[in-house]
Chains A and B, each alone.
With several copies, the nearest count.
Chain A
Amino acid sequence: MSPLAKLLEAALFASSRPLTVGELLTLEPEAGETAVRAGLAEIRDAYAAQDHGVELVEIAQGWQFLTRREYAEALDRAQFALRPRRLSPAALETLAIIAYRQPVGRVEVDEIRGVDSGAVIDKLLERGLVDVVTRGEGLGRPLLYGTTPQFLEILGLKDLDELPRLEELSVALRPPAPTEPE
């Protein structure tokens, strides 16, 4: 592997979260973004070709080494690694709404779910899956929430564009804007 690729490999190996191209660039700023991208491709291909137990994956707007899927069960059984906690249905519901409506306020989430979502949102904040991104207009200027890179990370998504488009869903829904006032 090229010297730059080896340096990138070391950095990616040392990190327990995805690193963006921008972050990797700080390792050797004069290398330039193109070279970093080429280095990443070089590593990915080398690991694929040499048939390894880990692979380099593009995720959460960055890159990360992950173990290959086929070892999931064996690693799970051996418990050397920590499995992330599962999300409750309520948490997933709230995340789905925040992901699609961001930036969105708590009242809107409550309305769509039909239940109070304050406690769930607090938990998602605590886990770093959503964050306050701005404040809305109107009375009290409510806090508006959006998803974080960690959200992409736990779902294994490259970016938000990988979420299914609403038109692709089997439930057709008119865009939320032009409904009658409530």
Chain B
Amino acid sequence: MSAPTNAVVQEQSGFVVELEQFSGPLDLLLHLITEDELDITDLPIARIADQFLAVINELRLNQAADYLEMAARLLRIKAQLLLPRRLGEDEWEDPRAELVRRLLEYQQIRELVDWLGHAAARRAEQFGRGFRPEPPEAPPAPLVIELNDLLAAAERVIALIPEPVLHRVVPRPLDVEGATARIETVLATRERCGWLDVVGDHPTIVDVLSAFIALLELAKRGVLRLSQEGPFSPIVIERESPREAA
């Protein structure tokens, strides 16, 4: 595709997440990296994180969840890199590894996009037959359904149906107290946070439910305030009354 001059594209309800230059946080990151001619495999995270935050603030992308999530990820990696490493710790895993893998993968996609865009532009130099004769009053094309296809579809549908058909009560109580403590810890250091901050990385359904009930309870008690930009947009959790500097 040609230079990124396309108008702002509104991809999602209400949110302008795709500015003329960037199709997402990875694209923005990649842009920062190539602009500064940085080595992807040895990313100076602190520097990149600062630049990323500066750009999303400047472009007012700081309300879009995808960009915020990436910002949080960068800051987390930055923090992890600052942790002292014990000597002889061979198994140390570079906290940047996953991000680097994703960036390389994304870079590859961008290269393919260039190729596809070029191919599409070349194809557009040729026109096919424009005249479409009105189809004569022919019967519609015959429909083919094989019994096997139908049965395969039935099997797929069967597999969709959740395993335990009988309802069983799982004796696993919600941990609302734990979730409450967790939320309070997060809010002790930060004025506001997001949903992901209070449920953790790989929440189970129980975690999600616990956190949700805890949030509602804390909101009811006036400890925090919950807001949402619009339907389905990320939940913003804010401390109700800014405490005196802790």
Direct contact of A and B (CB under 8 A): yes
> Interface on A for B, CB 8 Å cutoff?
10, 13-17, 57, 64-69, 72, 75-76, 79-90, 92-93, 95-97, 99-100, 111-116, 119-120, 127, 129, 134-135, 140-141, 153-157, 163-164, 166, 168-173, 176, 179-182
> With contacts A75-B127, A90-B9 known, what are 11 further pairs, Cβ within 8 A?
A17-B130, A67-B126, A72-B125, A84-B142, A87-B145, A88-B18, A92-B145, A92-B152, A154-B143, A166-B158, A171-B111
Please indicate the chain B residues that have their CB under 8 angstroms from the CB of A180 in the complex: 97-98, 166-167
Identify the closest chain B residue to A15 (Cβ).
B130
Q: Annotate B105-135 by CB proximity to A: 1 below 8 A, 0 otherwise.
A: 1111111110111011011111111111101
**Contact (Cβ within 8 A) B131 A119:** no
- Distance between Cα atoms of A80 and B156 in the complex (Å): 31
**Contact (Cβ within 8 A) B129 A164:** no
Contact of B157 among A16, A112, A154 (CB under 8 A): A112
Assess whether B147 is interfacial by the CB under 8 Å rule: yes
B229 to chain A, nearest CB (A): 14
Contact of B6 among A66, A88, A97, A116 (CB under 8 A): A88
Contact of B127 among A10, A127, A157, A168 (CB under 8 A): A10
Identify the closest chain A residue to B40 (Cβ).
A171
A51 to chain B, nearest CB (A): 17
Can you pick out 9 interface pairs between chain A and chain B where the beta carbons lie within 8 Å of each other? A66-B126, A72-B126, A85-B142, A92-B152, A96-B157, A115-B11, A115-B25, A135-B156, A141-B156
Whether A79 touches B135, Cβ cut-off 8 Å, given contacts A92-B1, A92-B153, is: yes
Interface centre among A81, A86, A163 (most CB of B within 10 A): A86
Assess whether B170 is interfacial by the CB under 8 Å rule: no
**Contact (Cβ within 8 A) B120 A154:** yes
**Contact (Cβ within 8 A) A96 B153:** yes
Whether A100 touches B154, Cβ cut-off 8 Å, given contacts A114-B26, A115-B23, is: yes
Identify the closest chain B residue to A88 (Cβ).
B9
**Contact (Cβ within 8 A) A89 B138:** no
**Contact (Cβ within 8 A) A69 B143:** no
**Contact (Cβ within 8 A) B101 A93:** no
